[in-house]
Amino acid sequence: MKTERPKANRELSKPSRSLILPGSLFVVGGAFFLLSGSGKILAPLALVSALALPGLVLAVVYGYLWKWQGREIRSPHCLPILVSIMLIGLALCRFSLWLGSSVQTNFHAPHLVSIVEYAVPVSFIALMLSAVFDSGVAFAGSLGAIVLLSFLSSQPFDFFLISLCGSLVGILALGKAEERTSFLKAGGLIGLSNMGTILILSLFHQRIDSLAYGLLGGAISGPLAGILGLGLLPMLEDFLDLSTNFRLLELANPQQPILRELILLAPGTYHHSMVVGTLGEAAAEAIGANPFLVRASAYYHDIGKIRKPEYFIENQIGTANPHAKLSASMSSLILISHVKEGVELAKEKHLPLSIIEVIKQHHGTCLITYFYQKAKEAENPELAEVREEDYRYPGPKPQTKEAAIVMLADAVEAASKTLSDPTPARIQGMVQRMINSIFVDGQLEECDLTLKDLHQIAQSFVRILSGIYHHRVHYPGFDFEGEGQEDRGGHGDSGQKLPTKDKSRLRSSPRGYPKDIRKLGS
C-alpha cells in the first residue's frame, strides 16, 4: 500500500483536459469563470455582470408588462405561467446552441455549425406567449429572451436581428388564431422571414460561401418552432391550467358532454346561455376584451342549474312554479346555490380557472329583489328581521372585463324576456336601465370597465337584441293572430293558424301541402 499511494498521487497530479462549452461555468483556483459564446473567458467581476444581466432583463420585461398590460398580467397565476414558458423556450434554445458548439468541437464542420445555430427555435417563445397571453406580452417576453440568447451566440448582432424579425412575424401570423394548425402556418412564415433576413445579412457581410447553409438553418427554425408549439401547448394547457383561444373554442363546442347534459336537463337555461354568449361575444369585441373567454364562460355560467332545473323560471314550461310552496328565504337559498354548485361541477369537469372565476363572479353580490320584497311583505315584527344581505349572492364581484360582460349580458337577456313589445326603442331603454342599476349597485367597481366601455357594451346589446326580436312584414292571406288556438303545434312550434281557404287547399293537395307551396321545391 505504501508504494501505491504515491503512484495514485502522481496520477491525480497529471494535468487533465476537458471540454468547456460556451455558456458554461468552471472553477480555477477557487474562482468562478464563464466561457462566453464568442469563446472569451469572463473573469469573476465580469461573471457577476453576466449573472446580473438576465435578472435585469427579466425585471425590465415584467415591469413593462405590469405597467402596460393591465391587471390580468398582475394576477398571481400569470407570473408562473410567463416564467415557465420563457424557461422552457430558453432551455430549448440553449440546447440548440450547445449542440452547435458540440458539432464545432467534435466534427470541425463550420458549415454544419451555421445550420445548427440558425436553426435555433427562438420564435417558439413568441408563439407560445402569443397563444397564451396576447401580442404585447409575446413581444416583450420574446425580446427579453432574444437579448439573453444573443450573448451566447457567436454572431450576437445577426442572431438578434434574425430572431427579432422572425418572432414579430410569428406574433402577427398567429394573432387571434382559432385553429391549432395555425402554429404550422406561423412556423412556415417565420422560416421565410428568417431566410430573407439571413440573405440580406449575408450579402451585407459578404459571406456568400456559407449562405446556403444559413438559409437552410433559418428555414428549419420556423417550422421547428411551430411544431414544438403545436406539440407542447396541449400539455402546458393541462399542466398549467391555461385558457388559450384554442382550448376555449373547443370548450364552446355544443357537443361538449356538460353542454349536452344542460340541453337535456335544462333546455331553457341552455338557450339562455347561448344568447348570453352571443351578446357577450359582441360586447367583448366592441371594447377589446377576450371574446373567446366571454363566449365560453357564458355557455357554462349557469351549469349549476342542472342540479335543480325546475326551480328556475326558464325551465318551467307547462309546469307549476315550485317556489309557490316555499318561503322566500328558502327560494333565495336555492337560487344562490346554483353558483356554488356550478363552481363544483366546473371543477369536476376540469374547466379552466378563468371560466370557474366567471361562474363564481357572474352574479357578484346582486340582490335577489323579487324574493327580498316578498320576504319584506310577509315580515313578522315578532320574528327575526329580514336582512338584505341574506338575499344577496355571496360574490365576489366581477374582477375582469370578461366577468363583468357576462354579468351584464346575463341580466339584459333575462330582462328582455319581460318586454311585451320589444321594439328597438324599448330594447334600448331596457338595456340602459339594467346596466345603470348594476352600475349603481356597485357591482362593477372592482373591474376595469370605463363609462366608454359601458356605452359600447350597451350599443352592442341593443344591436343583437334588436336582431333577435325583429319584426317580419305581414304575409297577405295569413292571419297569425286570429282564431285557431286549437291548431297550436300543428304547423311548427308557433301555433299559427292557416286561413280557411288554405285549410281546404291543404286537405285537397297531395302529401298535405298546398299546391302553390309544392311548386317551390319542385
Tell me: the pLDDT tens digits for 9-40?
554 455 555 555 555 555 544 444 555 555 55
Is residue 163 a contact partner of residue 183, using CB atoms and an 8 Å limit?
Answer: no
Is residue 174 a contact partner of residue 127, using CB atoms and an 8 Å limit?
Answer: yes
For cell 398571481, what's the residue?
76
pTM: 0.79
Structure confidence by residue, pLDDT tens digits, 312-366: 999 988 888 899 899 999 999 999 999 999 999 999 999 999 999 999 999 999 9
**pLDDT on residue 73:** 73
Residues 505 and 510: their CA atoms lie apart, in Å, by 10
Q: Which domains does the chain have, with CATH numbers?
A: 70-242 (1.10.1760), 251-468 (1.10.3210)
**pLDDT on residue 322:** 92
B/e letters for 283-295, b = 16+ CB within 10 Å, e = fewer, are bbebbebbbbbbb
Is residue 211 a contact partner of residue 201, using CB atoms and an 8 Å limit?
Answer: no
**pLDDT on residue 253:** 95
Compute CA 132 distance to the chain's CA centroid, rounded to the nearest angstrom: 7
**pLDDT on residue 37:** 52
| AA identity, residue 85 | I
**pLDDT on residue 379:** 74
Q: Which residues are CB-neighbours of 115 under 8 A, at least 6 positions away?
A: 213, 214, 216, 217, 220
Q: Which of 25, 152, 138 is nearest to 85 (CA)?
A: 138
Structure confidence by residue, pLDDT tens digits, 246-266: 999 999 999 999 999 999 999
Strands 41-42 and 31-35: antiparallel
Question: Could you write out the DSSP letters of every residue in 47-76?
Answer: HHHHHHHHHHHHHHHHHHHHHHSTTTTTST
| AA identity, residue 123 | S
Q: Which of 157, 237, 161 is nearest to 193 (CA)?
A: 161
**pLDDT on residue 192:** 97
Q: Give me 486's grid cell.
A: 286549437
Walking along the chain (522 residues) 10 residues at a time, the average pLDDT comes out as: 49 52 51 52 52 75 79 76 88 83 70 81 95 91 91 86 96 90 95 95 86 91 95 92 93 96 96 98 96 97 95 89 91 96 96 96 95 87 82 95 97 94 94 96 94 97 94 70 44 38 39 39 38
Q: Which of 354, 431, 437, 436 is nearest to 398 (CA)?
A: 354
In degrees, rounded to 5, the angle at the alpha carbon of residue 432 between the alpha carbons of residues 429 and 433 is 85
**pLDDT on residue 58:** 77
How are the residues of the chain apportioned to helix, strand and coil, as percentages rounded to the nearest 5?
65, 0, 30
